């Protein structure tokens, strides 16, 4: 089984053991083989309410009262520090001289005081290992500057403290093979506590940066990052806005490790080696085949608190043309809004995927609003960039343009708490346009009947665990437009979709009213993300 999402750290429930076992394919989230914008692009007014939820002990959350997030969809202007700035030139960094600038830049970062901004005179700087931004309340501004990372194994700008902004850099890199650690991304919000657990990093701003390639296909600079372009682990109150991410070897923007209360706004992601924007929440750790439902249940409350991604808005982004993976994904998560995004030329798999994946022991999905997105050209065009011929050597998956499915292990299915929690439920698709695809506009509830296997390190024996189908419940499809789609515009698989769980209203196909026999009128309450922002778009 080949996985499409990014592997990260080995602690705090994040699955490096599985990633190492899988080699270069990375780790986490759904697989295509698992079955036998700019601010002006964001709608000014939500079509309905968007809100959030309150955590419950049994699973994830129950929908709460509606709360407006209109101002949260606005990409804020790039802010300038009022507390003064320092230049990397003061510390010996010299652009365009061919020398390595890592030590000088790190000295400058460590010399900052809260409220200050580090600026870079225009030009190209070389770095041979990660740059650690670890003074709280500081900013780094790369306007006019290129940071070129020369070490494929260690190349990230690391945000390691609260209230840090990374803005306006042009980031290129030397890469070789796909890698998976946070410091092998190009920008990483990530740090560990003394005990090895993930540190909560609050109020990070990653804005106006460009992660891109610096060479022809096949050259060491052909890709923008060894792993993800931007990765966030256990981030709280974050903003990722107005960035351009091109040709990373793994995901474009990857959110994991119990990140929450964040916004991903107005970014452009193209030609990546995996999912373009991914939210992945791991409930387990280690190889899934070696886990048990009893182990999962025994620490359920702690897992929910520390590892579940929740309350995230993904809006106004433009994604297109990756050679592997999906467009925008929620593989485990709750209270998520995916709104006003443009997704075009998704060659291999789903444009939007909402899933629980047993093979990676992710959480289920609950309370997701997917609204006003424009999806086109799904699995009917080749990617514009296909390094190593990955697309050419792998047939499309047949996922729907919007794909909703869930799987769990047999022992999880026998546990009432886990059976409920490892479903996909309370999802509303409203006002979306799906056009010109070779697959259904929406496919929901596909069946699973497979096994995962791992070697027990204590005994050396192979251990298998059977995967079966989990439920898709309370799915609403409203005011959707399905145009130029062959076969079924809405395709339901009965094995994973119970009677009475689909709710339809005012959908059209090629300009005519459209429904399916399984549709009901009454709709569940789905509210998505909840946050309050000022008129400038800052989270309050």
The predicted-structure confidence for 437-447, as pLDDT tens digits, reads as follows 999 999 999 99
Q: In a 10 Å sphere around its CB, with 0-12 CB exposed, 13-18 middle and 19+ buried, how is residue 211 labelled?
A: buried
Beta strand residue intervals within 358-461, DSSP E = 365-371, 374-378, 402-409, 424-430, 433-437, 442-444, 449-455
Q: What value does the mean pLDDT take over residues 64-70? A: 52
Half-sphere exposure of 144 (CA within 13 A, CB side): 7
Q: Which of 36-50, 347-361, 405-419 has the lowest mean pLDDT?
A: 36-50
Give 535's pLDDT tier (boundaries 50, 70, 90).
Answer: low
Residue 416: what pLDDT? 97
Q: Enumerate residues 6+ apart whose C-beta is below 8 A from 194.
A: none
Q: What is the mean pLDDT of residues 326-338?
A: 98
Long-range pairs of 127-131 with CB within 8 A, sequence gap ≥ 24: 127/100, 127/101, 127/102, 127/151, 127/155, 128/100, 128/102, 128/154, 129/102, 129/154, 129/155, 130/154, 130/155, 130/156, 130/157, 130/158, 130/183, 131/102, 131/105, 131/106, 131/156, 131/157, 131/158
Lowest average pLDDT, out of 61-65, 72-76, 404-408, goes to 61-65
What per-residue confidence (pLDDT) applies to 341? 98
Burial 245-260 (b: 16+ CB within 10 A, else e): bbbbbbbbbbbbbbbb
- Looking at 23-37, 194-208, 262-276, which range is the least confident one? 23-37
- β 402-409/462-469 pair status: antiparallel
Q: What is the pLDDT of residue 40?
A: 29
Q: What whole-number percentage of the chain has pLDDT above 90?
A: 75
Name every residue whose Cβ is closer than 8 Å to that of residue 81 and which is 6 or more positions away in sequence.
115, 116, 117, 139
Q: How far apart are CA 48 and CA 219, in angstroms?
A: 48
Q: What are the domain boundaries of the chain?
A: 16-78+168-514
- Under the banding of pLDDT at 50, 70 and 90, the label for residue 1 is very low
Give 525's pLDDT tier (boundaries 50, 70, 90).
confident
Residue 67 has pLDDT above 90, yes or no: no
Burial class (CB in 10 A: 0-12, 13-18, 19+), 460: exposed
In this model, does residue 25 exceed pLDDT 90?
no
Is the pLDDT assigned to residue 17 strictly greater than 60?
A: no
More confident position, 534 or 531: 531
Sign of CA dihedral 123, 126, 129, 135: negative
pLDDT at position 524 is: 78
- Give just the sign of the alpha carbon dihedral 406, 431, 434, 26: negative
Query: Quick one: fold of 16-78+168-514?
Result: Pectate Lyase C-like (2.160.20)
Mean pLDDT over each residue of the chain, to the nearest integer: 87
Distance CA 351, CA 275 (A): 9
Query: What band does 494 get if pLDDT is binned at 50, 70 and 90?
Result: low
pLDDT at 69: 75
Mean pLDDT of all residues in 123-143 = 98
**Residue 70 pLDDT exceeds 90:** no
pLDDT digits (tens, 9 = 90+) for 201-252: 999 999 999 999 999 888 999 999 999 999 999 999 999 999 999 999 999 9
Q: Per residue, what are the HEC states of 236-254?
A: ECCEEECCEEECECCCCEE
The pLDDT value recorded for residue 539 is 54
Q: Strand 210-211 to strand 170-173: parallel, antiparallel, or no bridges (unpaired)? A: parallel
């Amino acid at each position: 089984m080949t996985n499409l999402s990014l592997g990260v750290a080995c602690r705090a429930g994040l699955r490096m053991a599985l990633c190492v076992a899988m080699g270069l394919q990375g780790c986490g989230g759904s697989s295509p083989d698992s079955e036998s914008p700019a601010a002006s692009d964001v709608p000014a007014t939500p079509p309905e309410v968007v809100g959030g939820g309150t955590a419950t002990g049994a699973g994830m959350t129950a929908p709460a009262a509606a709360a407006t997030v209109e101002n949260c969809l606005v990409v804020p202007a790039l802010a300038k520090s009022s507390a003064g700035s320092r230049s990397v030139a003061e510390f010996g960094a010299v652009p365009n001289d061919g020398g390595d600038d890592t030590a000088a830049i790190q000295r400058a970062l460590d010399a900052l005081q809260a409220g200050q901004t580090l600026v870079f005179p225009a030009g190209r700087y070389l770095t041979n290992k990660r740059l650690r931004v670890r003074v709280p309340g500081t900013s780094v501004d790369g306007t006019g500057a290129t940071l070129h990372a020369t070490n494929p194994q260690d190349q990230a700008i690391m945000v390691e403290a609260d209230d840090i902004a990374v803005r306006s850099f042009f980031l290129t890199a030397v890469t070789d093979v796909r890698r998976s650690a946070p410091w092998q991304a190009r920008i990483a919000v990530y740090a560990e506590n003394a005990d090895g657990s993930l540190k909560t990093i609050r109020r990070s701003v990653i804005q106006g940066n460009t992660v891109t390639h610096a060479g022809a296909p096949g050259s060491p600079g052909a890709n923008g990052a060894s792993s993800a372009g931007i990765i966030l682990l256990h981030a709280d109150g974050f903003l990722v806005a107005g960035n351009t991410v091109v040709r990373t070897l793994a995901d474009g923007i990857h959110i994991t490790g119990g990140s929450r209360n964040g916004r991903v706004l107005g970014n452009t992601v193209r030609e990546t080696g995996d999912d373009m924007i991914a939210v992945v929440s791991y409930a387990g750790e280690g190889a899934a085949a070696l886990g048990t439902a009893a182990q999962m249940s025994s620490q359920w409350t702690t897992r929910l608190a520390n590892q579940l991604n929740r309350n995230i808005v993904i809006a106004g982004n433009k994604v297109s043309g990756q050679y592997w993976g999906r467009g925008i994904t929620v593989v485990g998560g709750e209270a998520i809004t995916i709104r006003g995004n443009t997704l075009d030329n998704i060659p291999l798999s789903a444009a939007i995927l909402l899933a629980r994946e047993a093979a990676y022991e992710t959480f289920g999905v609950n309370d997701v609003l997917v609204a006003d997105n424009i999806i086109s050209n799904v699995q009917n065009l080749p990617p514009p960039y296909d390094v190593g011929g990955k697309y050419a050597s792998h047939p499309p998956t047949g996922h729907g343009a919007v794909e909703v499915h869930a799987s769990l292990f047999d022992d999880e299915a026998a546990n009432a708490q886990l059976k409920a929690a490892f479903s996909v439920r309370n999802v509303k698709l409203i006002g979306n346009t799906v056009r010109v695809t070779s697959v259904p506009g929406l496919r929901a509830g596909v069946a699973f009947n497979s096994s995962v296997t791992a070697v027990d390190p204590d005994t050396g024996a192979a251990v298998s665990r059977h995967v079966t189908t989990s439920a898709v419940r309370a799915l609403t499809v409203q005011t959707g437009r399905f145009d130029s789609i062959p076969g079924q515009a809405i395709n339901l698989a009965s094995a994973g979709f119970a009677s009475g769980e689909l709710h339809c209203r005012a959908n059209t196909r090629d300009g005519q009213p459209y429904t399916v026999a399984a549709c009901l009128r009454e709709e569940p309450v789905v509210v998505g993300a909840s946050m309050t922002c000022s008129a400038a778009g800052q989270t309050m």
